[in-house]
Structure formats: C-alpha cells, structure tokens
Amino acid sequence: MTATDDDRRVDTGSPAVAELPDAEKLPEAVSLETEEGRRLASQLADEKTRHARKLLEVRDLSTQFFTKDGIVHAVDRVNFELDYGETLGLVGESGCGKSVTALSLTRLVPDPPGKIISGEIIFDGVDVMKLTNEEMRLLRGKRIGFIFQDPMTSLNPTLTIGFQIAESARLHLGLSNRAANDRAVELLSKVGIPRARDRMADYPHQFSGGMRQRVMIAIALACDPMLLLADEPTTALDVTIQAQILELIRSLSEEFGTAVILITHDLGIAAGMCHRVNVMYAGQIVETGVTDALFENPEMPYAWGLLDSLPRLDEERGAKLRTIEGMPPDLLKIGDECRFSPRCPYSREICHTDEPELTERGGADHLARCHGTEPGRGWIQ
Amino acid sequence: MTTYIIRRVLWLFPVVFIVSVITFLLMHAAPGTPFQPVSDRPLPPAVIDRLEAQFGLDRPIHEQYISWVGNMLQGDFGPSYRIRGRGVSEIITDNMWASIQLGSMAFGLAVILGIPLGVVAALRQNKWPDYLSTFISVIGIATPSFVLAVLLVLIFSVSLHWFPTSGWRGPEYWVLPVIALSGYGIAQVARYTRASMLEVTRRDYVRTAQSKGLKERSIVTVHMLRNAFIPVVTILGPLLAGLITGSFVVESVFAIPGIGRFFVDAIFQRDYGLIMAVTLIYAVLIAVMNLVVDVAYAWIDPRIRYS
Amino acid sequence: MAVQSTTLDRKVAERPPASLWRDALERLLKNRLAILGGIFVILLVLLAVVGPFITPYGYSQTDTQLIRDLRGPANPGQGGHLFGTDILGRDLLSRIMDGARISMTVALVVQVTVILIGVPIGALAGWFGGRVDNLLMRITDITYAFPDLLFIILLTVVFKDTWFGDAMDGLLLVFVAIGIVSWVGVARLVRGQMLSLKETEYVEAARAIGVPDRKIVTRHLLPNAIGPIIVAVTLGIPGAILAEALLAFIGIGANPPRASWGSLITDGQTWMSSEPHLLLFPAIAIALALLSFTFLGDGLRDALDPKLKGKQ
C-alpha cells in the first residue's frame, strides 16, 4: 500500500482528481439518520485507515499578500498533518496566520492580493495545488466544510436558511429538490434547531446568533465532508452559547468521523476539544503536540506566556493580570531571527540572528521552535 | 403588507388635495390672468372683465376652488382658457399618451441597459466591460438631455438620415428621443448597480457561498444580485419621477405632441384649467410610483416588513 | 515562570493612530478620479470668484465692429477671442466664465437651502419619531409629489418683479426655488441616520449621564451624519446645475445679458451648423463641471464609507 501512496505523490502530470478514492461511488441520497448511512460512512473511514495515509498533509505552505506597502508574510513554511477523524487545534493571537492557513487549504485566499506562493497540500491523497479551479470547486462543500467566525454576516440575508442548506446537497450530491430539503430538515434538527421543518422558510435575521451558527454548521456538514474547518466558531457568541456550539461540533464530528481543524485564540477551547494542537505565531507554527502533553509541558516561551496569562481561580484577588509585553511583529518585515525574540524574556543573541527550527522535544510528537529549550544546547529550564 | 398598501393609498388623497390647494393658490397669486398674461399686448380692461365673468374667474377664490373640485370629481376638468374651444380633458387625453410612452420607454431602457452594464462592470472590474460601462456612464452624466438630443439629431437625423428629426408617428420616431431622455438614467443606474455589486462582492456570505463550492454563475445570480438590487431600487423612484417631469425638453426638441410641452406653455400663459389638471395627474403618478418602489423594496429585502 | 518586562525599546509594530477623517482623507487621495474631479472643482470655484477680474472682456461687452468686419460671429482665435464670439460680438470665453460663476452659485445656494431645510426636518423627524415624524414625513411627501418644474416656474413668476425676484439678475429666486423642491433627499437621509443612531449604546450612555436631548442630537448624532450629508450634497450639485440649465432652456433664469451655461447652450443650438463653437464650448464646460462633481462625490462616498474603516 505504501508503494501506491508514493506513486500517487509522484508528479505524473495527470490530473490529480483521477486519484480520488472510492467515496465517489457513494449512492446518491445518503441519509445520515439511517443505520445504513452511518455504516457506509464508517466503512469509508475504515477503508481509508487501511490505506495508512493521513487525511491532510501540509508541507511548507507559504501564503503571502502583495500590498502597496510591501509583502505580508501571512503564512510562512507551515507543516502539519491531520488524521482522519482527528480534531486539530490551531491556536494563536489575532494576525498569527491561522485563518489564512485555513483559507489556503481550500484555496479561498482572495487573489489579489493574496497568493499561495509555495507548498504542498495533499488532501485525501489529492494534490490540492494541482487541481484546476473547477476541480477545486467540486472539493469544496462536498469534502471540506467551512464554518466562519461571524454568523451574523456569513449567511445570505435574502435567502431562506432552508435554501442555503439544501443548496450544497443539491449541487454536490445530486439530490432532487424534495430530497435536498428533507436532508436540510434532518440537518437542522441534528444541529439542535427545534421545529426544523417549520423554520426552513425562515430568513437568517429571524434567528439569534447562536442559532445562526448552528445553521452554519448544518450548511458545512450538508454533504458529510471529511474535513471541517471551523474558524473561531464561537468568538462572536455569548459565553453560555459557546459551550453548546462546541459540544455540537464535537459530537457531530465524532458521530460522522469528520476531521476538524479548530481555529481559536482561546486556549481553554483548544484544550477541551482537540486531540492535538498547533500553536502559531507570526505566520509560523512555533509548537505542536498532543494536547495534554503540550499543556502540561509547553516547551516554548510564547506558549508559557499564553498559559500564564490565563487568570487562575486560586490567585489572589487584586493581583495584576499577567500579559506578554509588546506586540506581534510587523509581517512586512521578516528577518532572519526568532520572531518572538523581541518579546521574549529569555532571549539571547542567537535568538536575534538565527531563526530556530521546529525540533523534537522528547519524541516525534512534540515539536517546538526555540533555541532556548533545544535539548542539549538550550539554556532555559 | 396589504394594510400598509391600503394605508399608503389612503394617504394619497390628503396629499394630492393639499398639492392642489397650494397649486391653486400659487397660480392665482401670480400676476396676470389667462386672458392677460403679462407678456401679451394689453387688452382693454372691459374685455378682460367680460371674459373673466364668462368663465367665472371673478368669483372669490375659495368658491372657484370648490367648484373646480366638484367638477373634477365628476370628470370634468373644464375648458382650456388659452386654447379656445377645447376642453382640458380633451387636450390631456390627446397628448398624455405620447408622454407616458416616452417616459416609460426611457425608464425601461435605463433599467434594461443600466443594470447589466453595472453588474458586468463590477464583475470584470478594471477590464474592458468596466471601461465601457464607465464610458457610457460618463457620457450620460455629462450631457444634459437637451444637448444629447441636439447632438443625436445632428448626427443620426441630419447627417446620416437614419431617423426622423421630429414627430411621434411610429417606432422609428421613438429611438432618438428615448435615448436622449434616458441617457442620464442609464448612467445613474449603471453606476449605482456597479457600486452596489462591488460592495456585495466583499460580503462574508459571498465567501460562504464560495466555500460551499458553488459555481460562479450561481453565486452571482442567486446570492449576489438580489442583495445588490436593494439599494438600486431606491433610486428608481426619483428616476421615474424625474423622467416624467423632465420630458418636456425632449418633447420640445423633437416636436413630440406630449403633455410636457403643453404644461410649460400653460404655466406661462396662465391656463389655469390645464395647470390644475396636469399637476394633479403628475402628483398622483409620482405618489403611486413611490408606493410601487417602496413595495418592491420590501419584496426584495426580507428584513423589511412594514407594520 | 513569571514573565518580566523585556527589551521593549525595540519598536515592533508602528502604526499611527487612525481617526475617521484621516482615514477618509487617505482613501480619498488614493482615488485618482476623485482627485481629478476635486482639482477641477477648485478651479471652477476660483474661476467663479476671480473670473470677472481676469477676463479680457466683460461678458456683456459687445463688439459690433468686429462682427461687421467678419460678417458674422468670430470663430475661435479670431480677433483676440480665444473661444470666439457670438453674433453680438460678445467674447465667448468671458461669457463661459460668467456662466461658471452662475453655476457655482447655483451649487452653493441650492445646497445651502437644502441643508437649511432638510437637515432640521430630517433630524426632528428621526429623533422624535411618532406623530412628529408622521407629520414631517407627510410634508415631505407633499413636497415630493409636486412637479418640481411647475413650482419653480410658478415661484419665479409670482415673485418676478419684486426685490427678491431681481436679486442677482433673477438668479437668486431660481436657486432658492430649486432648493425648495430638492431638500427631500437630504431630509430622508438625515432621518434615516437619526433612526439608526438613536438606538446605539453610546446614545443610551449619554442619556444615562443626563445629557439633554438637544445636545445629544447636535454633539453626537449630527456629526456622525455629516459624512453622508457631505456626499449627498456633493452628488446633488450636478442635479442643481442641470436644473438650472433646463430652466434656461425654457427661458427662466438669468436675465440677459447674463449668460448661464444653460442659456449659452440654448442659444448656441440655433447656430449649430454654422458656428458650432457657440454650442460646443459651453457644452464642454457644463460636462466637465458635472463630471468633476460626480467623481468627487463618488470618491467622498467611498472614502467615508464606515464599513471600510480600518480595512484595506
């Protein structure tokens, strides 16, 4: 099987879409509610794991924005992998490149001014960068679902939500109007909207923020995608609703074996939802590892700063909140140095002259980008 | 919604009533009478008095108004004071049709040409369709209707002999006047549509539609157009009103037997009967058009619900 | 693992503080068409102000000798007249400059009238709502339903021989009349702004502190509405200039020998075939004016768009 994978990765010049797995032969109308539908879905997951390949392999992905003021290095040589059914967290502060990474995966980066200038994205064995626009379009919605941050503006105000959900099903699954609508009703109730059938003809403005986000989830999952990209799905919502939405995402992804990339700036969310976490800073991944291990033993000053800045219950009242001093670097000017070094209390000269690489910290699972914690050479305890 | 429409229609009556009162008062406040507009040679006062008495113009104003209203409600707009021997109703029915045709064709052209121009310009920003659309818009804005009319006549009538220079006797008579009148409208509609579409392109829900893997054509026609039309509808009302009230220029240049020309003449010559009648008709038309536009606005945008 | 202060004297990201107006100005200056329009507008205004002092001839100065010599109006370049003359030997360039004066005055007077009437009505209607709103909106409807032309002509005719009617050679009357029928758009705009801003939180906060209504409207709400008002006023100017031209076409407006662009064009029409310059130059002048205000207005609208604030 490994030989086949290697063959697939070789550039034979033939269209990558010919390599799509047998999932294409799925019968037309598959209802997730039925025993059979679920069985089929998990069967596919089994099939894939048999191939011993990852759902998503990202190598050296770099995305830049060409602006009047210069080139913004939004995503700089990012590498990561995602297993089928796994939930990966992409954590970092605003502007660190996590959203752009997700947009790059589906080639939705606005061009101009943005452009994926290098890198490989292998999704389910398919080389995404080699697809034509048309082939890419077929991938979107059907195999990759997207949930955006602001449910208020992400839904079309002049179309009913029933239509917006059924649209993908009609297009990608070839369902008739009635079948697509039925599926939409199913999905609506699955995401927790009461009296789903009655609400199909309602418009987005008739829903609250939390409900709208549920509708977005229904839209994203309409065609039972293999991957769900959730870009800060709860940031715009009330705290009380946040937990519900996250729980919904978790349970649905478990039920259908959907892999999730969860983008957030909230460490608590990442800790609660993800199997693994990538910490991003200034367009690079600076630490990555299994959630528990990473949170217990972060190996990079930025990660320490992040965890440290979380207020704790057992602190004294009135104690100052801890922050990471300074601001993220201007992505227009990228030099050969550790990007966090201006703010790092442990930095030494090498940090300002040499960009550190992602290296192992006790196992291939836990990587960090820091001279100071480098096993052997590092000076931080 | 129906209650809203009914309410608006009911409001028509007081509004039109007040318009008629103001017009009546202003009209009579102006110096001169139909029989002695200020510019003509002076008639002997006795003759004027006799004529006035004959037409009941020597009565107190409110009496005149009331009797006018009474007659009007019975469909009688009275005689034209300046055009001897013809009733106002007659004049209007003879000439209204041409104006309505002209105005609605100009409006139709503005919408049918303007909207696609704007949409295409926005979708192909900074490419040739955008430049073409901008070019047409520029000409439409920069050229007042009478200048455009004169130029069109010069080029297409006098030089090329493609179209007649005046009259309203058939389709070939329609072309030049309609283009002249609609120039400004086409430009405005195209510009507004373009701006609106560009705005819509930036919206989040367009990105959502793309992430669903929809075809570009679907995204434009199903997701974008309806949202883009919303602000455009708001200028259609004033546009139509402007076309209706501004048609007299084109009617003059092309010698079209329309009501606009008669109206302007009537004002100068103090033909009270004609003035009142046409004002009334204009007012009702404009108010109704406004209502139609407001309803269309609510129809397109589901967030608007009139109570 | 407490984090201590570090080397913060290193400047990491430098961005000047953004205010709405500075952002808007920056955006405006990037718009080439708008700048072009703006430059021409300034030119027109300058012309309007200093024009009469720098024209070689007066706008009413005739030169019958030249006409006799040439057996007709002078063509551009003849006899020291850059744009030629009309049948009475009056220099076209000077008359066009006078026309610029008139058009700029139109712009000014009409829009001032529009603001004086429209803003208070819109603000009151939007702020108080209810009965007041209803009443004011009905008044707006009535004004709107009036055929503009009729009203203007009637008004001019009614006041014709009064001091008002003769002011500025009959022009003041026309301008005010145009303004009176044009305020509806601005009123509705201001009303809409009031309605939406009324519900914002900072108004609630201001009320909670006890700021009197009047101050809330003038200090907080109106300044926010200024942007759209400026845009509407700028974009309304072409309409006013056009209205003046249309009126000139039917003989209302500047009393001869004053010449607005509209009347120049109307007169020039009859000479179209033999002396096209009499029609061409005024038409170009008016076209340039209309376009520059339109582009400037567009630029202002894009620059002041609150949704674009902060974005590229």
Residues A286, A368: Cα–Cα separation, whole Å:
6
Exposure string over C96-105, b if 16+ CB within 10 A, otherwise e? bbbbbbbbbb
State the complex-level ipTM: 0.83
pLDDT confidence tier of residue A146, bands split at 50, 70 and 90: very high
**Predicted pLDDT at A331:** 77
Does the distance separating the beta carbons of C150 and B267 come in below 8 Å?
A: yes
Q: Are B285 and B244 within 8 A, CB to CB?
A: yes
- Record: fold of C30-69+77-311: MetI-like fold (1.10.3720)
**Residue A302, pLDDT score:** 84
| Contact residues, chain A to chain C, C-beta under 8 Å | 67, 113, 304-305, 308, 322-330, 342-345, 347
- pLDDT, tens digit (0-9, with 9 covering 90-100), for A267-303: 888 888 899 999 998 888 989 999 888 888 888 888 8
Residues 6+ apart with CB under 8 A from A350: A371
Q: What integer pLDDT is reported at residue B306 of this predicted model?
A: 64
Ramachandran angles phi, psi of C225, nearest 5°: -85, -10
The 3 state secondary structure assigned to chain C is CCCCCCCCCCCCCCCCCCCHHHHHHHHHHCCHHHHHHHHHHHHHHHHHHHHHHHCCCCCCCCCHHHHHHHCCCCCCCHHHCCCCECCCCCEHHHHHHHHHHHHHHHHHHHHHHHHHHHHHHHHHHHHHCHHHHHHHHHHHHHHHHCCHHHHHHHHHHHHCCCHHHHHHHHHHHHHHHHHHHHCHHHHHHHHHHHHHHHCCHHHHHHHHHCCCHHHHHHHHHHHHHHHHHHHHHHHHHHHHHHHHHHHHHCCCCCCCCCCCHHHHHHHHHHCCCCCCHHHHHHHHHHHHHHHHHHHHHHHHHHHHCHHHCCCC
Collect all residues of chain A within an 8 Å Cβ-Cβ radius of residue C4: 345
- Who wins on pLDDT, C169 or A14? C169
The Cα–Cα gap between A334 and C152 comes to 66
Instruction: Specify the DSSP element, H or E, that contains A98.
Output: helix A98-105
Q: Rounded to whole angstroms, how far apart are CA atoms C248 and C170?
A: 12
Residue B171: is the preceding peptide bond cis (ω within 30°)?
no
How far is residue A371's CA from residue A380's CA, in Å, rounded to a whole number? 9
CA gap B88, B280 in Å, rounded: 13
> Which positions in chain C have a beta carbon within 8 angstroms of at least one beta carbon in chain B?
138, 141-142, 144-151, 153-155, 157-158, 160-161, 185, 238, 242, 245-246, 249-250, 262, 265-266, 269, 272-273, 279, 283, 286-288, 290-291, 294, 298
Instruction: Please give the average per-residue pLDDT across A360-364, as a whole number.
Output: 78
B44 preceded by cis ω (within 30°)? no
- pLDDT tier, A19 (very low <50, low <70, confident <90, very high otherwise): very low
Q: Distance between CA A77 and CA A16 in Å, rounded?
A: 23
Nearest to A98 by CA among A343, A264, A260, A275: A264
Query: What does the pLDDT read at residue A212?
Result: 92
Chain B contact partners (≥3 CB pairs within 8 A): A, C
Least confident of A26-30, A310-314, B199-203: A26-30
Q: Is residue B299 part of a domain?
A: no
Parallel, antiparallel, or unpaired for β A276-281 and A87-91? parallel
**pLDDT, tens only, C64-105:** 777 777 777 777 777 777 787 777 778 888 888 888 888 888
Residue-wise pLDDT tens for chain B (307 aa)? 788 888 888 888 888 888 888 888 887 877 776 666 655 566 777 777 777 777 777 777 777 778 777 777 777 777 776 666 677 777 788 888 888 888 889 999 999 999 999 999 999 888 888 889 989 999 998 898 888 988 888 888 888 888 888 888 888 888 899 999 999 999 999 999 998 998 898 889 999 999 998 988 889 999 999 999 988 988 888 888 888 877 888 888 888 888 888 888 888 777 888 888 888 888 888 888 888 888 888 888 888 776 4
Q: Cβ of C8 and A330 within 8 Å?
A: no
Q: Which residues of B touch A133 (CB under 8 A)?
A: none
pLDDT in tens, A73-104: 889 899 999 988 899 999 988 888 899 999 99
Helix (H, G, I), strand (E, B) or coil at B161: coil
Cβ C210 vs Cβ C204: under 8 Å: no
Cβ atoms of residues A214 and A155 within 8 Å: no
pLDDT band at A203 (very low <50, low <70, confident <90, very high): very high
A16: pLDDT strictly greater than 60: no
Dmax over CA atoms of chain A, in Å, equals 67
**Residue B19, both tokens:** 């318009």
Of A14-23, A130-139, B160-169, B205-214, which range is least confident? A14-23
Find chain C residues with C-beta within 8 A of A304's C-beta.
Answer: 1, 3
C6 interaction partners in chain A (CB closer than 8 Å):
325-326, 342-345, 347
pLDDT at A317 over 90: no
Q: How confident is the model at residue C116 (pLDDT cuts 50, 70, 90)?
A: very high
Across the interface, whether the CB atoms of B212 and A216 are under 8 A apart is answered no
Whether omega for the bond prior to residue A151 falls within 30 degrees of 0, making it cis, is no
**Which chains neighbour C (Cβ–Cβ under 8 Å, 3 or more pairs)?**
A, B
Amino acid making up residue A195 = R
Q: Give tens-digit pLDDT for A31-60.
A: 455 555 565 555 555 665 546 678 899 999
- Altogether, the residues listed in chain A come to a count of 381
What mean pLDDT value characterizes chain A?
81
Residue B39: Cβ within 10 Å count: 8
**CB spacing of B290 vs C144 below 8 angstroms:** yes
User: What six digits make up the tokens of C43?
Assistant: 């030119």
Q: What is the CATH number of the domain that holds B155?
A: 1.10.3720.10
CB contact under 8 Å between C154 and B23, yes or no, is yes
Residues β-bridged to residue A87: A260
Domain that holds residue B113: 96-268
- The interaxial angle of helices B2-29 and C130-145, nearest 10 deg, is 60
| Best of B196, B198, B207, B211 to mutate (most A CBs within 10 Å, chain A) | B211
What pLDDT is recorded for position C57?
Answer: 74
- The answer to whether residue C311 scores a pLDDT higher than 50 is no
The rounded distance, in Å, linking the Cα atoms of C45 and C40 is: 9
Residue A126, SS3? strand
Higher pLDDT, A264 or C52: A264
**Between C254 and C9, whose confidence is greater?**
C254
Tokens of C240: 């006013």
Mean pLDDT of the region C150-158: 77
Measured CA to CA, the distance from residue A103 to residue A53 in angstroms comes to 23
Residues of chain A with a CB closer than 8 angstroms to some CB in chain B: 106, 108, 137-142, 144-146, 148, 150, 153-159, 167-168, 171-172, 203, 205, 216, 219
Residue with tokens 């994926």: A116
Q: Around Cβ A134, how many Cβ atoms within 10 Å?
A: 9
> Cβ–Cβ contacts within 10 Å for residue B274, how many?
28
- For residue B48, is it within any domain? no
The answer to whether the CB atoms of C141 and B15 lie below 8 A apart is yes
% chain A with pLDDT above 70: 86
Place of tokens 């998503």: A56
CA distance B180 to B183: 6
Of A304, A324, A330, which is closest to C13 when you measure between CB atoms? A330
Mean pLDDT of A126-131: 86
**Domain residue ranges in chain C:** 30-69+77-311
> Would you report the helix, strand and coil content of chain A in percent, each value rounded to 5?
40, 20, 40
Edge-to-edge strands of the sheet including A70-82?
A70-82, A56-67, A114-123, A126-127
pLDDT at C20: 66
- Specify if B115 maps to a domain: yes
**Residue owning tokens 């200090």:** C219
CB pairs under 8 A between A and C: 42
Asked whether the beta carbons of residue A171 and residue B213 sit closer than 8 angstroms, the reply is: yes
Q: What is the pLDDT of residues C25-68, one digit of tens each?
A: 877 787 788 888 889 999 888 888 887 777 777 777 777 777 77
Q: Write the pLDDT tens digit of every residue in C202-261.
A: 777 877 888 787 777 777 777 777 888 888 899 889 988 988 888 888 877 777 778 888
| CATH no. of A56-278 | 3.40.50.300
Question: Do residue C13 and residue A329 have CB atoms under 8 angstroms apart?
Answer: yes
The pLDDT, as a whole number, for residue A156 is: 93
Can you give the pLDDT at residue A14? 33
What is the distance between the alpha carbons of residues B292 and B290, in angstroms, rounded to a whole number?
A: 5
Are the beta carbons of A326 and C1 separated by less than 8 Å? no
Please list every residue in chain B whose beta carbon sits closer than 8 Å to the beta carbon of residue A156: 205, 208-209, 223, 227
| Nearest beta carbon to residue C4 from set A304, A342, A345 | A345
In a domain, B35, yes or no: no
Give start-end residues of each CATH 3.40.50.300 domain in chain A. 56-278
CB A101 within 8 A of CB A78: yes
- In a domain, residue B225? The reply is yes
- The confidence score (pLDDT) of residue A51 equals 61
- Is the pLDDT assigned to residue A220 strictly greater than 90? yes
pLDDT at B209: 93
CA atoms within 13 A on the CB side of A154: 28
CB-CB neighbors (< 8 A) of B215 in chain A: 137, 171
Bigger pLDDT: A236 or A214?
A: A214
Preferred mutation among A133, A158, A159, A261 to probe B, highest tally of B CBs within 10 A:
A158
